Structure 1
Amino acid sequence: ALAQCYYAKKEGYKRVTTETGAGQWGTALAYGAALLGLKCTIYWVRAVYKWKKERRSLMQLLGAEVYASPSPKTDVGKKLYKKNPNHPGSLAIAISEGIEDALKNEDTIYCLGSVLNHVLLHQTIIGLETKRQLEKIGVEPDIMAACLGGGSNFGGFTLPFIGEVLKYKKKIRFVACQSEVAPNLSKGKYEYDFADYGEFTPLLKMYTLGHKIKMKPIKADGLRYHAAAPIISLLRHHNLIETVTYPSDERYVFERAKMFIECEGFLPAPESSYAIAFAIDEALKAKEEGVKKVIVINISGHGFLDLAGYREVLKLK
């Protein structure tokens, strides 16, 4: 987010637009825009906008305008909104709204939160820092896992290590943790598709479920996206990435998140709980087999603004 806001400022833009699903990326861009004196408009998937009021307030505290998507503000959003004012929305629709807004205003540029190569490149700071931390303690990973929607989190975390595997023939398993609602890497077709509902983006070769597919809303809405980034899709196509999917009711992964906070005192974002579930299961499997494995996962964000989601799924009183 900081990198995109920096280049937007450098190129003379006054405002940035974006989409957000879980709200993490929207918050990040709002912060980047505030630091660099830019206005910020965020189109937030309506299903999540409704229940994450605290995160919405956080974005607004950072100076951002936040709209539920689909919204009446854009042509793409207006058509869907008129048909159904309670349309749950999707990342693909929110992306279209952000792009359309930017196209209609010369002082504005759109900043995508995932999928495109430059976004994954910026996020590799995560993997580079992880690599340095592991080097300092003399540890090499056997397995690396992270949640995956469009691919920025997973790619940012794993790409520096995948480069090492390709160059030096190291053996590391890379596992993308997904929801069965959007299993783009395991059930998608490897073909050219749009990254957005309104077909503003270039065609990208990706594993895709189709840019107009209807997907049931989940609490980990950052994972509810129809396609995986071209770089990630190519690596999957060459069998360098594995996938695991979890049930759409999310109880299984949220129970693992509950175990995590009980042990670590930190509540992960709903999306991160997918990677945690995989790590716990894999660690227990290794224990049963009597083998030692170094399992490294990425916690993509905190869940302290997601308590309503945890409360609903786990039926907390």
Structure 2
Amino acid sequence: MKQKKFILQESEIPTQWYNIQADMPNKPLPPLNPKTHQPLSADDLSHIFNKECSKQELDQDHAWIDIPEDVLEKYTFYRSTPLVRAYALEEALGTPAHIYFKNESTNPLGSHKINSALPQCYYCKQEGDTNVTTETGAGQWGAALSYAAKLYGLEAAVYQVKITMQQKPYRSSIMRTFGATVEGSPSMSTRAGKNII
């Protein structure tokens, strides 16, 4: 029988994030502060993100960033997901190429979103924040952040696109299960929402 699934052992999960900017010969231009039109600093970004994530976002020097031990531990709750060989697709296409896909179908938090939400909430907790707020469209990001916030003892408020919230009510249920407050957006609870409504 052909091997169909390949699963990375927990001991083989990477211990560092790769920062492609450091290896790019032509670095991307820095994002600009909308008020000053000058390159954003980590301090500028820290009004939206935690300080550590702001620093990492602008880092163009370090190709490898250590993943905090606590985040690595929480990654093992759901990693690794199987890499599956798509034999039927190869046959249907008549290709000699080997085709693989990551099977993320059993993870309701989204494939890559929880990978980002966990360290964001970890750093928020380390920096003394008590809550996180976000927007979400279909709801995977909101669910991932709600879960990560719960793991780190943070309150979470999620503003979900109102029509999507109505079309996919189970996503809101997942977020609320993790303790998040969820509001349809636009909402009367924000200045921007009031202006739109």
User: What's the TM-score bracket when you normalise by the shorter of the two chains?
Assistant: 0.3 to 0.5
Larger radius of gyration: 2
From the two aligned structures, give the one with the greater helix fraction.
Answer: 1
